[in-house]
Structure 1
Amino acid sequence: MTIEAQSMDTTTHMTGEPVEAATNVVGALADAGVDIAFTVPGESFLAVLNALYDEPRIRTVATRHESGASFMADAYTKLTQTPAICMATRAVGAANLSIGIHNAQQDSVPMIAILGQVSNGARHRESFQETDLDQFLRPFTKWAFEPTAPSELGALTHRAVRTAISGRPGPVAISLREDVIREPVRRESYSTIHRPEPEASSDEIAVVEALLRDAHRPLLLVGGEIMTTAATPAAVHLAESASAGVVTLWRRPDAFPNDHPHYLGHAGLGAAPIVREAMTGSDLWIVVGGRLDENTLDGYTLPTAETSVVHVGVDADGLDPRGEGFGVVSTSAAFLRLLAEPFSTDPLEPASAGERRAWITDTHETWQAQTTPEGRAVSPGYADQFEIARTMREHLPPDTIVVTDAGNFSAWSARFLRWNAPFTFVGPGSGAMGYAIPGAVGAQLARPDRPVLAVAGDGGFLMTAMDLQTAAREQLPIVVVVFNNGQYGTIRMHQERKYPGRPIATTLGEVDFVALARGLGCGAELVLEAEEFSAALDRAFTSDAPYVLEVRTDPEQISISSIVELD
């Protein structure tokens, strides 16, 4: 169930029935629309688990590691737009959970983290697994808090969900003291939470319209927050009516249909060279539905001084951190719709529109050429990653959700695959390794009717491979492609560039990925040649169980640019 986007209100109803305070925590989450929780169970929050046992509106999924729980919640929330829960115990569990919480902050994901805490009598004594969880998690959450009164737990939990989805979305963390959640209280119920929808004013739209009419090479830079039923078509309509090119932000390639003639590629790591050229040559950026992160801005070398910037977001705090340009607080859908209206009734001058479209057409054609994979020579016994990318592009069902891990291997997918529908890509904007497998579990639970493909390097794969067993236990037919080059390839690439011929701590040992996957309840097979991959991919997608394809890749093919540049 997606949390509705309207006004924001909270109503508490008392029934008088005595319950443990944890029951109100769980009830407040369910009343707010939360429907799933991922956890490694811990004794510090047994009362919450007990309350979940009696709550049919929330599905509880046991994971093999807390990082997996947080990545699953992240992916599920991204695809459903409804906050998911990740739960862990005290300091040790919270530390493992924190990698996914940090990613949720970087990606503006409104998930809910629940942490068990030591009891009142044990606080501030360096008790078993104790730390100040709210202080620990505060730097990368919207709100981290530790209630002390049992009677407040339900209301504060409900408020936590409201905080997570309001303004720029983000994670919240609730630290629950073990004895407090067992205290008797009266059962409470809460109203549905409605997400607020700020809208640009007519004066703001007039300012942006004037900038857009005067520009010679305008670009829309669109992010994941535009992916709604209303916003995605509105982005297409604005691009067409204002003759603007479109670039998607880092880790948001599905925010605009890639087959559209106005699409000029995605920014960030793995981007085609023409994308930076287009961003550099543009005299106006209109950034909608995302933040201007380091990878989108190519190490903060963009935009140039000649580029004017309009930044649109639902929270003023999330707008262009340089303090430059023109900021507009608005939902993406409202802004795009309002800005397109004057161009529909008063079109651009034909000459201006023609010049823009000529630039867009030339750039789009160059992008098409630079993102069409061509096979490369590799050492015998290895599969060429360019050919693997070509096969995936040709054979993946169009509604496949691709979940990527972090690492150099992902550049091939990022550059060569196509995303033509919203909510068909999930990846860690924070660059957290280990995301792909648990992310795919979360994605399949969010969209059980869609095929889900996870892509990972051998380094990231082994960080969370144990949650393949979670996929098998939950009967989720995810497909995982692991690119095995026996090394931490991204780091070796940087070592070869900065300290040529002196790689250290990047070579990994031999692993039988096929045997490992089968031991965790999955189907699996080894791919040594690119020609074998197509049939293997077909077998994987027809399996009822999770399926792992180990693709052996050349240790020297670690950069999408070329092998030669590392020689």
Structure 2
Amino acid sequence: MRRHGGKILADQLAIQGVERVFSVPGESFLAALDGLYDVGIPNVVCRHEGGAAMMAEAHAKLTGRPGVLFVTRGPGSCNAASGLHVARQDSTPMVVFVGQIARSDRDREAFQELDYRRFFGPLVKWVAEVDETRRLPEYISRAFHTAQSGRPGPVVLALPEDMLSGFAEVPDIPARVWPEPDPTPAQVAAVLAALDEAQRPLVVVGGPHWSAQAAADLAIFAERHDLPVAVSFRRQDRLDNRHPNYVGDLGVGMNPVLGQRLRDADLVIALGTRLGDTATAGYSLMDPAMQDKRVVHVHPDPDELGRVWRPDPGIALSAPDVVAALARAGGPSAPPRWSAWTRAARADYEAWTAPKPTPGAVRMEEVVTHLSETLPETAVLTNGAGNYAAFLHRYFRYRGPGTQLAPTSGSMGYGFPAAIAAKLARPDAPVVCLAGDGCFQMTLNEMSTAVQHGANIVVIVANNGRYGTIRMHQERKYPGRVSGTDLANPDFPALARAYGGDGVTVTDQAAFPEALAQALAADRPFVIELRLDPEALATGLTLSEARALGEAAKTG
């Protein structure tokens, strides 16, 4: 049957099992919009391509299936780049369709023309331009394969407008059947042999592919061998944080005692994580130039193994598959020699997560502790970047996979669009976004998207009137010389009401529990604005103390 390119594309998305797409419409892909109309795939229309890209990325994190994004040529694709960077660094599968100028106008700097191969090349796993309508199924099939294979990530397909509106008679290509690879007995034995020789092992978990079953297998493996399990930056939902073998996160604002344990470990079992600069404090806790500990590295991309760390062994498989095999392998016949090391690491975590008071009538450590104690098991928490996020990392106890959506790339503005995508994917689960006043304002225009699509999320805005993290570093390096870090803010609840949502302002800690209960019961997006003391910092210092440290450093 002859179909226009947009219909061919939409039919292929349906075959791939795409549940919804995210977009900002453009005239360059009207044929694709027409195709989506026929197949009935919901199209979440967003207000900015950056927000749309972050929604698609968050949807992929929650579902394990590629997020699908449509943006128009030129400015639209440039706006989307920030979300693609998140997907690349977070190993999230995405397929991005970008409108393109007509093929006959290429290389003339036509209206909104862009060389997508050069522009997106460093950001994505693969970028291509489809020149013939009849080849759409071929390119789309490869795009979905590439996005999900090895280390997952984003791919981009540029769609010339005249190609997309052209007609062709071409068969569809079935979706790929993904086999479940099993580690070999030799690979499992090699990991257990490394444990047999260890005195101070540490498991570090991260990367993609985690599920509730993977978390259960990890718990079994950790219990049987009494292993301390740490997680990499913003991967705290890989294991229930209440589990006695969970010992904390290695990332920005990490517990310094846990960092020292990473330094002291004689065996690191890295499961899915790249074990990069964030987890190792800029390679100060582990130095790849002078590797002084054994690293068992499990990662789905064979090119990652040996790129930074010398693995012994290196296993090019999905970490959950290896963990499942380790869980089936049983445990030692006698208590392991490192049990005291594990118990001490857990005690360090318990001490680190005991709330440390900060100044002000509203205190973030108490806000996050209340969230951790009262939100149901199914709740999804999202955040972007800022000083407020360190409170969340430290004091919230995540229950399991799919309860944390946060960018390992450190992108501001991520939390709010991610929350919208999460609520659409899990309409029955409470979804709470934490954002700073600077972070929220980067994507708050998506409030209109949330209202339009019925995403009744809760947004908690930590308002301290400044870019808090940058100001903290500024006071330490250039004390008293404030430049570019203060913010003028709107009335956030009033702004939410203007969009059709609701909200309240909290100026006293005692009012927060009632405000949260009201927000969770709302049938529309609800903003809780927290008026914070500008002096409060997640480090436990105040800004004045950070400034004093900077002054002391300057005077020697």
In which range does the TM-score fall when normalised by the shorter chain? over 0.9
1:526 and 1:207 mapped to 2: Cα distance? 56
Q: Which residue does 2:20 correspond to in 1?
A: 36
CA contact (8 A) 1:22 1:153 kept: no
Gaps of 5+ in 2: 549-556
1:99 and 1:474 mapped to 2: Cα distance? 23
1:529 and 2:508 matched: yes
Deviation of the 1:207 alpha carbon: 2.2
Query: Which residue of 61, 64, 83 corresponds with 2:66?
Result: 83
Deviation of the 1:302 alpha carbon: 2.8
CA contact (8 A) 2:480 2:547 kept: no
1:190 and 1:335 mapped to 2: Cα distance? 31
Worse-matched range after superposition: 264-273 or 168-177? 264-273
Q: Which residue does 2:551 correspond to in 1?
A: none
What are the residue-to-residue correspondences of 1:417-456 with 2, within 5 Å?
A: 417-456=396-435
2:193 and 2:134 mapped to 1: Cα distance? 54
Secondary structure of 1:270's aligned partner: coil
Q: What are the superposed Cα offsets for residues 451-506 of structure 1, whole Å, 9 maximum, x if unpaired?
A: 10000001110110010111111111100001111111111111111111112101
Structure 2 length normalisation: TM-score?
Answer: 0.94
Worse-matched range after superposition: 406-415 or 551-560? 551-560
1:334 and 2:316 matched: no
Q: Which residue does 1:540 correspond to in 2?
A: 519
The letter of the residue matching 2:310 is E
Q: Which residue does 1:393 correspond to in 2?
A: 372
Q: Which residue does 2:554 correspond to in 1?
A: none
CA contact (8 A) 2:358 2:537 kept: no
The letter of the residue matching 1:334 is D
CA contact (8 A) 1:29 1:161 kept: no
CA contact (8 A) 2:295 2:309 kept: no
Residues 49 and 310 of structure 1: is their aligned pair in 2 closer, same or farther, counting only changes over 3 Å?
A: same
Query: Which residue of 417, 441, 445 corresponds with 1:462?
Result: 441
2:373 and 2:539 mapped to 1: Cα distance? 19
**Which runs of structure 1 show a deviation greater than 4 angstroms over 4 or more consecutive aligned residues?**
none
Q: Which residue does 1:314 correspond to in 2?
A: 300
CA contact (8 A) 1:199 1:331 kept: no
CA contact (8 A) 1:40 1:69 kept: yes
What are the residue-to-residue correspondences of 1:126-275 with 2, within 5 Å?
A: 126-225=109-208, 227-275=210-258
Structure 1 length normalisation: TM-score?
Answer: 0.93
CA contact (8 A) 1:400 1:424 kept: yes
CA contact (8 A) 1:493 1:559 kept: no
Secondary structure of 2:182's aligned partner: coil
1:560 and 1:341 mapped to 2: Cα distance? 41
Deviation of the 1:520 alpha carbon: 1.1
Secondary structure of 2:121's aligned partner: helix
CA contact (8 A) 1:406 1:433 kept: yes
1:229 and 1:390 mapped to 2: Cα distance? 24
Q: Which residue does 2:552 correspond to in 1?
A: none
State the superposition RMSD in angstroms: 1.6
Q: What are the superposed Cα offsets for residues 164-221 of structure 1, whole Å, 9 maximum, x if unpaired?
A: 1111111110100000111111153332322344433332322221111111111111
2:301 and 2:484 mapped to 1: Cα distance? 42
Residues 357 and 551 of structure 1: is their aligned pair in 2 closer, same or farther, counting only changes over 3 Å?
A: same
2:83 and 2:12 mapped to 1: Cα distance? 23
Residues 434 and 145 of structure 1: is their aligned pair in 2 closer, same or farther, counting only changes over 3 Å?
A: same
Gaps of 5+ in 1: 1-16
Secondary structure of 2:241's aligned partner: coil
Identity of aligned residues (%): 38
Q: What are the superposed Cα offsets for residues 71-115 of structure 1, whole Å, 9 maximum, x if unpaired?
A: 000111000001121111111001110100111010011111110
| Aligned pairs, number | 542
Query: Which residue of 63, 84, 98 corresponds with 2:81?
Result: 98
Worse-matched range after superposition: 291-300 or 255-264? 291-300
Deviation of the 1:449 alpha carbon: 1.6
Worse-matched range after superposition: 292-301 or 434-443? 292-301
Query: Which residue of 473, 490, 503 corresponds with 1:511?
Result: 490
1:374 and 1:323 mapped to 2: Cα distance? 36
2:357 and 2:460 mapped to 1: Cα distance? 19
